[in-house]
Structure 1
Amino acid sequence: MSRQSHQTFGRTIQLFLVDGTPNGLRKATIHGWTGLTFVATGTTFAALTSRPELDRTGIYILSGPDAEAVGGTRSYIGSANSVRERIKQSAQQREFWETAIAVTTSDDDLSKGHVEYLEARLIQMAADANRVTLDNGTNPAGQRRRLPEADQANMEQFLANLKIILPVVGLDLLKPQPRAVAQASTPVEQRTAHETTFEIRHKSGVSAEAVEEDGEFVVLEGSQALMDTGYVQQSYGTLKENLVKQGILVPGSDGKHVFAKPYSFNSPSAAAAVVLDRNSNGRTEWKVKGQKRTYHDWQQAQSASQERSL
């Protein structure tokens, strides 16, 4: 289990359902922050652009499925003096988006220089995280980031709040990759030294190893995955196709794929399904390396240990 920083602390996020329904326009704020985040879908886009707050300087993100990468996400990041007009234009020019996010402030204190800095930094951060395909043609020019030192510090704090609020509203494009993925150039023993390693050793001969880090289940490079078993893939077939297309899964020997790179899954079951080429319960398929204890048993023991320490 990942180590928790002693510097973490609680934050209060207020999520307001504008029309009182869970699928309607949403407004998210953080206590003590002037930022206003609005989240809309195609059906609530008109409600978004009718908000008076959008006639302010701010930034916006359009996000949806990536047609060129099965199971992937494509996003576009922009900024404007009037978010309302620019987000309308961008939405008309792009067919992929399903979610629109607009960020302004309650006191309208962002300048053109501020939002251009935020746009450039968001594009850079999203590219570094490498969780989505960016639809932005080029990165904003470097001079757009030049702000006085005090303004830069304020905008970095603004970004820190966005990194908290965006995952809450369903967008992970800024979330850093787990160490086991991001530090792939270092030996696997160093990257996973503080994590429990899990394994699948199947009667078919396939073998795989993984670690859990910050809620993500990372299958390590060198792990194997069965291919063409004939089982009907109800849930994860498209994901596996995408991994092959990306070169993460490459042909190996004896009817198996091999993970050429570590890959982060959102659950042990997704990872097990790709490894075994069939829908699987990862909580029982994965076992602590060298033991018969399942992931489920290990997780239960971790929860009990945490309860005793409270």
Structure 2
Amino acid sequence: MKGKGQTLQAATIKIFLAHGSPTGLRTAEISNWSGKAITAPRTEFSSLLKREELANPGIYFLTGVDPDTGDDAIYIGEAEKVAGRIKGHANKDFWNSVVVFVSKDENLTKAHTRYLEGKLIEMAQEIGASKVINSQTSGARLPESDSADMDIFLEKCLQLLPVLGVNSFKATVDKATEEEDILYCKIKGLTAKGKRTSSGFVVFSGSKAVLEHRPSSTRFKAKREELMEKGILEKQNNHLVFTKDVEFGSPSTAASIVRGGNSNGLTSWKDANGKKLGQIEEEKT
């Protein structure tokens, strides 16, 4: 596995739309890789089960929404014959789509898939982007050479998953980033730290936010209260503290949560020299 701060290798991805629909049954492959992904929405589950690849060992992901909390949810599994195993999940109502990974050279064994499943469950739980439905991890010990091969296989799976709409394993940001990339939002002596991401803006764990909602917080009051209920925003003395990294859809949403009311993220977030985010991005264009 690549460590934090390392750059993924460039890759050519081939996606085949089995029925012509970009959201329907499709396969995905990376050049010079022995793995293959097959994904489908629940509405095409029967077509997926007929795929010959699913008669092989593999790992799979059921993704959807937790009916109790409304949060993204994921189930991670493995099987020697994937089709038979995922067919048994037809009675679970939370999931809307399924992604399967198999090996084109048929060299995946039961120990390999258990190793991958254990790693993936552990990663998903640590990242916390989705609720992991699995009650426990499995995992398996492998010889050193096999575990090295499976770590490479896992790396490719993680590279493909976001392309296929699964973001449960997308670590929000590498904190070991350059200091010049860190942005700060300050209010009433409190400081939050964050960074632009490819899909929004992440506020780092340990950042501080105001305790009280401002009159302008009508749009964000419910979101702040939800974060407090989940323990992501925790009261400490006379302020709130982020207990984990949280990615928001925009810098403005992130700033509004920190400041307790409507805020313009392009002016609220500044670098260590006080330069506003909007100005920083304007200078880069």
Normalization by structure 2: what TM-score? Answer: 0.83
Is the Cα–Cα contact under 8 Å of residues 172 and 197 in structure 2 kept in the other structure?
A: no
Residues 79 and 197 (structure 1), Cα distance of their counterparts in 2 relative to 1, 3 Å cut: closer
Is the Cα–Cα contact under 8 Å of residues 173 and 202 in structure 2 kept in the other structure?
A: no
What is the match of residue 12 of structure 1? Answer: 12
Instruction: State the 1:121 CA deviation.
Output: 1.9
What is the match of residue 265 of structure 2? Answer: 282
Residues 1:243 and 2:262 aligned together: no
Alignment of structure 1 residues 110-149 onto 2, 5 Å: 110-140=108-138, 145-149=140-144
Q: Which runs of 5+ in 2 are unaligned?
A: none
Partner SS, residue 241 of structure 1: helix
Alignment of structure 1 residues 17-56 onto 2, 5 Å: 17-56=17-56
Instruction: State the 1:168 CA deviation.
Output: 1.9
Instruction: State the 1:213 CA deviation.
Output: 6.2
Q: Which runs of 5+ in 1 are unaligned?
A: 181-190, 305-310
What is the match of residue 221 of structure 1? Answer: 206
Is the Cα–Cα contact under 8 Å of residues 178 and 264 in structure 1 kept in the other structure?
A: no
Residues 1:174 and 2:158 aligned together: no
Partner SS, residue 103 of structure 1: strand
Residues 1:84 and 2:69 aligned together: no
Residues 201 and 62 (structure 1), Cα distance of their counterparts in 2 relative to 1, 3 Å cut: same
Equivalent pairs, count: 278
Residues 89 and 280 (structure 1), Cα distance of their counterparts in 2 relative to 1, 3 Å cut: farther
Is the Cα–Cα contact under 8 Å of residues 192 and 258 in structure 2 kept in the other structure?
A: no
Is the Cα–Cα contact under 8 Å of residues 172 and 202 in structure 2 kept in the other structure?
A: no
Alignment of structure 1 residues 152-231 onto 2, 5 Å: 152-180=147-175, 194-201=179-186, 205=188, 207-212=190-195, 215=198, 216-219=201-204, 221-225=206-210, 226-227=212-213, 229=215, 231=217
Matched residues in 2 for 1:152 and 1:222: separation? 37
Moved more, 31-40 or 262-271: 262-271
Matched residues in 2 for 1:208 and 1:11: separation? 39
Residues 111 and 201 (structure 1), Cα distance of their counterparts in 2 relative to 1, 3 Å cut: closer
Instruction: State the 1:61 CA deviation.
Output: 0.7
Alignment of structure 1 residues 86-105 onto 2, 5 Å: 86-92=85-91, 94-105=92-103
What is the match of residue 109 of structure 1? Answer: 107
Normalization by structure 1: what TM-score? Answer: 0.77
1:145 partner letter = A
Instruction: State the 1:244 CA deviation.
Output: 0.8
Instruction: State the 1:290 CA deviation.
Output: 5.4
Residues 95 and 8 (structure 1), Cα distance of their counterparts in 2 relative to 1, 3 Å cut: closer
Moved more, 13-22 or 268-277: 268-277
Is the Cα–Cα contact under 8 Å of residues 65 and 97 in structure 1 kept in the other structure?
A: yes
Residues 1:294 and 2:276 aligned together: yes
Moved more, 243-252 or 28-37: 243-252
Partner SS, residue 116 of structure 2: helix
TM-align CA RMSD: 3.0
Residues 229 and 252 (structure 1), Cα distance of their counterparts in 2 relative to 1, 3 Å cut: farther
What is the match of residue 72 of structure 2? Answer: 73
Matched residues in 2 for 1:252 and 1:230: separation? 23
Partner SS, residue 107 of structure 2: coil
Matched residues in 2 for 1:120 and 1:219: separation? 27
Residues 49 and 261 (structure 1), Cα distance of their counterparts in 2 relative to 1, 3 Å cut: same
